[in-house]
Amino acid sequence: MTTAPGRTRVAGAVVVAALSALAVVALSSSGGAEEDRDQSRSRFVVSGDGLLPTERPKLREPREPLSPEESGYAIRVAQGDDSVPASATDVRGESMPEFLYADVPTDVDSSGRKALVVLYDYTADTTYHQTVDLRAGKVVESLSAVSLQPPLSAGETETAMRQALEAEGETLRFTREFERSEGVPLLSEEQVSYVAGVWTYDGTTDGGRECGAERCAQLGIRAPSGTYLDTTDFVVNLSDRSIVRLH
């Protein structure tokens, strides 16, 4: 196993609280309430210089949850393994696969300490399941699949929201509803609370046939007044950075 240079950083920072939560599928942005802002700050905390650990940390027992340090080390090993192409990119187009989540494998035995790291390569729209032997510091099994869409990362959720707001030439229903509800235009994701989930085409809409082979997100957005805005008219295609009209 070799580690490719320049690919040991996850979205610019190791987010300790997010790693301890592990399977983060959505990011809630501030809706203007101080409580929301405090919760957001407590959930995502930058540790040190933001670099993933290069040295093996102290390991827990085989079936115990991963520590933040173990998760960070596993991500570094998984992202840098030769099984992941050097051309792999994350949701921002940076030179690394998108980290989705890390966990203890369900079939873990009692003789070693392993971690399952799930990554997504936006260059090839491919999901990677990397099983990392933490004691040996290497990937012992790598499985890849296309048209497999695990839950979204916090970074993907944030990107989807920003993309929906910045879509050129698009007048999406939720922006009009926000202005009617709040009396001001919606200009920033900081004005609302939002979540997102993976959306795949099921044959019931006019658009979105590419979603499944490509990575698409459907947003749920709430205004400060508590009004839930209608986002059923579109999804965000994160693979090609487009807005997909569903009807």
Which tens digit of pLDDT belongs to each residue from 173-210?
999 999 999 999 999 999 999 999 999 999 999 999 99
CA gyration radius, the chain: 19
The SS3 call for residue 139 is strand
Encoding tokens for residue 220? 């749920």
Looking at the fold, whether 122 and 191 belong to one and the same domain comes out as no
Which is higher by pLDDT, 47 or 241? 241
Give the model confidence (pLDDT) of 121-176 as tens digits: 999 999 999 999 999 999 999 999 999 999 999 999 999 999 999 987 667 999 99
CA distances to 109, 200, 201, 234 from 205, rounded to whole Å, are 44, 11, 8, 10
pTM listed for this prediction: 0.80
Residue 246 has pLDDT above 50, yes or no: yes
Which CATH number fits the domain that encloses residue 120? Answer: 3.10.450.40
pLDDT top residue among 59 and 32: 59
Across 32-46, 96-110, 136-150, 230-244, least confident range = 32-46
Together in a domain, 116 and 138: yes
- Strand 242-245, strand 126-133: pairing: unpaired
| Domain-located, residue 9 | no
Tally of domains in the chain: 2
Asked, for residue 203, whether it belongs to a domain, the answer is yes
Give yes or no: residues 213 and 111 share one domain.
no
Residue ending a domain, among 146, 174, 206, is: 146
Kindly state whether residue 2 falls inside one of the protein's structural domains. Answer: no
Res 110: pLDDT: 63
Percent of the residues in the chain that have a pLDDT greater than 90, as a whole number = 72
At 42-80, the pLDDT tens digits run: 333 444 456 888 899 999 999 999 999 999 999 999 999
pLDDT, position 111: 73
**Mean pLDDT of the chain, nearest integer:** 83
* Contact criterion met (CB below 8 Å) for 149 and 142: no
Per the structure, the complete domain to which residue 83 belongs is given by: 16-146
